Structure 1
Amino acid sequence: MPVLKKRSEFLAVAKGGRLARRAFVLQAIERDAPQGLEAGVARVGYTVTKKVGNAVVRNRVKRRLRAAVREAAHCARPGIDYVLIGRHGALDADFRSIVEELSAALKNPRTRADPQRSGGRRRPKSAGKQNSIH
């Protein structure tokens, strides 16, 4: 699968939907108008934050995720950009379970942010006033 490399591509995918699993978070977004050699092909990007560990640990997580994508690439939908955010759970998890979770996630990604299922807390519009002491 072609790989995302530019920061702007990662930021574009971050505006799409998210699907969290124990070993990774999958972000996905449909490309507007696929063109050129990569038209109709799924692309993937990998990232692991420093919270996961030092460089050795982060690279190990990325290697496991890359290997899992090679195993599950046939499940990826064409014309969609994916970003895999590695979690610390990817080190301890059984590789087969990572591949199975990734296969299921690639088949049915959330490509748009769904406000009903976002999981974040939203303030009601009337709660804009805060208590103040005079």
Structure 2
Amino acid sequence: MKKKQRIKKNEEFQKVFKHGKSFANRQFVVYVMPAVGREEFRIGLSVGKKIGNAVTRNRIKRYIRQTFLELKDELRQDRDYVIIARHPAAGFDFHETKKSLQHVLRIARVLKKK
């Protein structure tokens, strides 16, 4: 992901939490907020220490980033996304992670129809 596509600062996370809408399934919570005046989406990732060790947390983050790269043409571009991983995501491989994220993004109605 490019630097301008990432949400890193705490204030930016808090803004999405406060003004965005949340959608969830068992593995992920996704906050979606309209981003005025920006053409590209941004994502922020949150994987807590309760989910696993550093290797597990980093693997989950890699899977989420790769999923967003593969879905970038189908996603609404004028949005900010914050993804929070829940404990069941720790046992998932890439394909299960992608399927679960697609499910929650469809619930949020930010994926374009094929």
TM-score category of the 2 structures, normalised to the smaller one: 0.7 to 0.9
TM normalised by structure 1 equals 0.67
| Farther off after superposition, 95-104 or 52-61 | 95-104
Matches within 5 A, 1:1-134: 2-15=5-18, 16-31=20-35, 33-34=36-37, 39-107=38-106, 109=108
Task: Tell me the SS of whatever aligns to 2:108.
Answer: coil
User: How much has 1:110 moved relative to structure 2?
Assistant: 7.0
Distance 1:56 1:46, change over 3 A: same
2:89 & 2:68 partners in 1: Cα distance? 13
User: How much has 1:59 moved relative to structure 2?
Assistant: 1.3
Distance 1:96 1:67, change over 3 A: same
Bigger Rg, structure 1 or 2: 1
Query: Which segments of 5 or more consecutive residues in structure 2 lack a partner in the other structure?
Result: none
Query: Which segments of 5 or more consecutive residues in structure 1 lack a partner in the other structure?
Result: 112-134
Aligned residues: 106
Q: Which has the higher helix share?
A: 2
* Structure 1 runs (4+) greater than 6 angstroms displaced: none
RMSD over aligned Cα atoms:
2.2
